[in-house]
Amino acid sequence: MIDVDKWEEIFSTIGRHKLRTALTAFGVFWGIFMLVLLLGAGNGLGNGISNTFRDDAINSIWLWRGKTSMAYAGFKEGRQIKFDNSDYDYLQEQFKDVESITGRFYLGGDKNVTYSNTTVSYPVRGVNPGHKLLMNSIITEGRYISDKDVDQNTKVAVIGKTVKENLFKDEEAIGKQINIGGIVYTVVGIFRDPGSEWDMRVIFIPISTAQTLYAGTDEIHQIMFTGGDLSSDEMMQLEKDILLALAEKKGFDPNDKQAVGSWNMAQEYQQFLSLLFAINSIVWLVGFFSIISGVIGVSNIMLIIVKERTKEIGIRKALGATPKSIVSMILQESVFLTAIAGYLGMVCGIGILFLLSGVETEFFRTPQVNFGVISVATLILVISGALAGLIPALKAAKINPVLAMKE
Amino acid sequence: MIKLTNIHKSYSTEFTNLHVLKGIDLHIKQGEFVSIMGSSGSGKSTLLNILGILDGYDEGEYYLNGNLIKNNSQVEAAGYRNNLIGFVFQSFNLLGFKTAKENVALPLYYQKVPRKERQERALEYLEQVGLREWADHFPNQMSGGQQQRVAIARALISNPKVLLADEPTGALDSKTSEDVMNIFKEVNDQGITIIIVTHEQEVAEKTNRIIRVSDGNIISTDVKQNSHI
């Protein structure tokens, strides 16, 4: 049941001390408001970085050609290490259990690509079927490069969404012929990429076709692995094993870091995770202190309130107020004030996050906040405000009315 | 109504032990109009505080309306104060942020009397002290005499057996003091026991019995007719 009189008392006290009320309320409001913004910003930062990683497979190892920096097995240092199809076959055989492997062959510069009367230049790459997993490409129509394409040097092309839109507009593209640098290919698939626009301007053809038709070689420019759901420790080990296997095959010093370049996404991701952890820790630390400062503010004000009302409490006691009624009068006021202010802080904070929810940049996107966490924080503030008020209130309730009235 | 037997009270600090009341025996019957006189430090205020259960005592026995008042809990004390005793203070002690009517109604709030009834009874008691038209005024809009009359209405609203007044005219001029004393007289005529602590002879002489306190002892309990120094 709502005690009208008690609420009337509370509103009249609050009304009598507008500045004090405003300051207390603002302290609580600000604490919760900042906490919401901080947590939201932390999450936004995390979301942003997670999103950049969504572009390519999180667990990938990239290998590229290098020059030896150490003499080994009768070879002098400075020897160029190159990859070719036999290296690819060898690694594929050695690391059968790994999720996927792909080679990549670059056609130098962009190629002019023609369909009907339209000609545009695009980057063209020769790849193996495993490349789809590496890039996280999503096939929207048709299919990707297959093993059969690579075995038989077929002249098929998988084109990015942008290429399709530029060349074919609304026309059906699958099964149509396009001319890439003078050679005619059949379009077999269209892909979308979760990463940038740029990634969707690329055309993929079978690596074998690229090697033979444009360069007459069996050279491979890059070899990449994806590790599926391997842990980052397992990925680090895999990278070492791959380099060791290559050192044996190509005959370079296993300790030579220059012979083959390598880059492990798992390591990067690990760093990102620890960065995120650090950001979150700081956010929580700052949030914690903003809550603490709110609590201290409320406690201070409660002390002052009780001090100021000593005489009033004495009069009430002389008129028959029980200690319980005194304590509950003071506590209700404090709880009411902190709850309202905390709630407002929460609403404003979430409102601002809502306004920012459209923001999508590389490092910051869709800031959000766990409603449960914020509710608990508000509750903590309200409870500690009550506890802070409780001690002086209990003291006030024990006061000798005669002494209190003499104040 | 009130029976004190051999009441002792000391205030001890770290260095001194101040023996304020040194064995008070006092009997006040229902419906008496009594004043307690004494110089400052005589113990008269302490005596009034004990009578009002605002303060405890060390030794002896205090019966109020047949109840032994000793080592009561805060809640019990609050209950006695609320139901048996009405207070009037020198400095009125009205709550400044409440209107006259709200001030008068306050004791009923602690008796859990419904709101509407509180308002009605408050107006009734304001009427009795002649301040009905002032019901919605705040204390700082009223004269000292008016404020004290509001305080008396407040003390009476809970229908107490005893009205305790601590220097009720101490802050008032002599004309206003007389008005206030007349109200006390009317209240006493209704059968309510009234005990007034004062150092003013004129005030004391308006009561039916004067109890003189000196150095922690009652030195005389004259009845009005032969009370002259």
> Please, which residues 2-31 of chain A have a Cβ atom closer than 8 Å to chain B?
4-5, 12-13, 16
Both A210 and A306 in a single domain?
Answer: no
Kind and range of the H or E run holding B94: none
Direct distance between the N- and C-terminal alpha carbons of chain B, in angstroms, rounded to an integer? 28
CB-based contact B78 A315, cutoff 8 Å: no
DSSP for A261-330? Answer: EEEEHHHHHHHHHHHHHHHHHHHHHHHHHHHHHHHHHHHHHHHHHHHHTHHHHHHHHHTT--HHHHHHHH
CB-based contact A318 B82, cutoff 8 Å: no
Where are the strands (E) in A117-192, listed by range? 118-122, 124-127, 138-142, 156-160, 177-180, 183-192
List, in order, residues 6 or more apart from B190 with CB less than 8 Å away. Answer: none
Write down the residue that tokens 């545009």 correspond to. A120
Question: To the nearest whole percent, how much of chain B has pLDDT over 90?
Answer: 51
Look at residue B197 and give its three-state secondary structure: strand
Task: Assess B176–A contact: CB distance below 8 Å, yes or no.
Answer: no
Both A275 and A352 in a single domain?
Answer: yes
Both A178 and A285 in a single domain?
Answer: no
Residue ending a domain, choose from A200, A226, A252: A226
Task: Assess A323–B contact: CB distance below 8 Å, yes or no.
Answer: yes
Cα gap A3→A333, rounded to integer Å: 13
Q: Is residue A264 in some structural domain? A: no
The CB density around residue A216, as the number of other CB atoms within 10 Å, is 8
Both A129 and A213 in a single domain?
Answer: yes
Cα gap A180→A125, rounded to integer Å: 11
Picking from A16, A397, A405, the nearest residue to B93 by CB comes out as A405
Q: Is residue A324 in some structural domain? A: yes
Q: Is residue A235 in some structural domain? A: no
Both A40 and A141 in a single domain?
Answer: no
Both A171 and A290 in a single domain?
Answer: no
Predicted pLDDT of residue A58: 67
CB-based contact B87 A319, cutoff 8 Å: yes
Both A304 and A187 in a single domain?
Answer: no
Q: Is residue A234 in some structural domain? A: no
Q: Is residue A260 in some structural domain? A: no
Q: Is residue A129 in some structural domain? A: yes
**How distant is the Cα of B227 from the closest Cα of chain A, in angstroms?**
30
Cα gap A47→B139, rounded to integer Å: 62
Q: Treating both helix axes as pointing N-terminal to C-terminal, what angle do A265-308 and A371-398 enclose, rounded to 10 degrees?
A: 20
Residue ending a domain, choose from A194, A209, A226: A226
Write down the residue that tokens 């007719």 correspond to. B225
Best residue in B46, B54, B157 to probe A by mutation, most A CBs within 10 Å?
A: B54
Q: In chain A, which residue's Cα lies nearest the Cα of B49?
A: A402
Residue ending a domain, choose from A172, A196, A226: A226
Q: Treating both helix axes as pointing N-terminal to C-terminal, what angle do B100-109 and B144-157 enclose, rounded to 10 degrees?
A: 20
Predicted pLDDT of residue A1: 45
What pTM did the predictor assign? Answer: 0.65
Residue B49 with chain A: CB contacts under 8 Å: 402
Q: Which of A356, A380, A377, A360 is nearest to A368 (CA)?
A: A356
Both A274 and A402 in a single domain?
Answer: yes
Residue range B34-69, pLDDT digits in tens: 999 988 888 888 898 899 988 889 999 999 998 899
> Please, which residues 34-53 of chain B have a Cβ atom closer than 8 Å to chain A?
49, 52
Both A201 and A312 in a single domain?
Answer: no
CB-based contact A402 B154, cutoff 8 Å: no
Q: Which domain holds residue A332?
A: 4-53+270-406
B157 pLDDT more than 60: yes
CB-based contact A402 B54, cutoff 8 Å: yes
Task: Assess B87–A contact: CB distance below 8 Å, yes or no.
Answer: yes
Cα gap B78→A397, rounded to integer Å: 11
Both A184 and A286 in a single domain?
Answer: no
Q: Treating both helix axes as pointing N-terminal to C-terminal, what angle do A18-54 and A323-356 enclose, rounded to 10 degrees?
A: 40
Q: What share of chain A is helix, strand, coil (3-state, %, to 5)?
A: 55, 20, 25
**How distant is the Cα of B180 from the closest Cα of chain A, in angstroms?**
20
Confidence class of residue B227 from pLDDT cuts 50, 70 and 90? very low
- Which domains, ranges and CATH numbers included, belong to chain B? 2-223 (3.40.50.300)
List, in order, residues 6 or more apart from A331 with CB less than 8 Å away. Answer: A386, A389, A390, A393
Residue range B108-128, pLDDT digits in tens: 988 888 889 999 999 999 998
Q: Is residue A245 in some structural domain? A: no
Task: Assess A397–B contact: CB distance below 8 Å, yes or no.
Answer: yes
CB-based contact A319 B81, cutoff 8 Å: yes
The number of folded domains in chain A is 2
pLDDT tens, N- to C-terminus, chain A (407 residues):
456 777 777 777 777 778 877 887 888 888 888 888 888 888 888 777 777 766 666 688 999 999 998 888 888 888 899 999 999 999 999 998 899 999 999 988 888 999 988 899 999 999 999 999 888 889 999 999 999 999 999 999 999 999 999 999 889 999 999 999 889 999 999 999 877 778 889 999 999 999 998 888 899 999 999 988 888 888 889 999 999 999 999 889 888 888 999 988 888 878 888 888 888 888 888 888 887 887 787 778 778 878 888 888 888 888 888 888 888 888 888 888 888 888 898 889 888 888 877 776 666 777 777 778 778 878 887 887 788 778 878 887 887 787 777 76
Alpha helices (H) along A55-202? 85-94, 131-135, 147-152, 161-168
> Please, which residues 97-136 of chain B have a Cβ atom closer than 8 Å to chain A?
97-98, 106-107, 109-111, 115
Pull the structure tokens for residue B170.
């101490």
Give ipTM to 2 decimals: 0.86
Picking from B54, B94, B106, the nearest residue to A401 by CB comes out as B54
Both A118 and A205 in a single domain?
Answer: yes
Residue range B63-89, pLDDT digits in tens: 999 889 988 888 888 888 888 999 998
Cα gap B37→B201, rounded to integer Å: 8
Q: Is residue A387 in some structural domain? A: yes
Q: How large is the average pLDDT for residues B1-23?
A: 87
Picking from B81, B91, B94, the nearest residue to A320 by CB comes out as B81
CB-based contact B81 A318, cutoff 8 Å: yes
Both A180 and A292 in a single domain?
Answer: no
The CB density around residue A343, as the number of other CB atoms within 10 Å, is 16
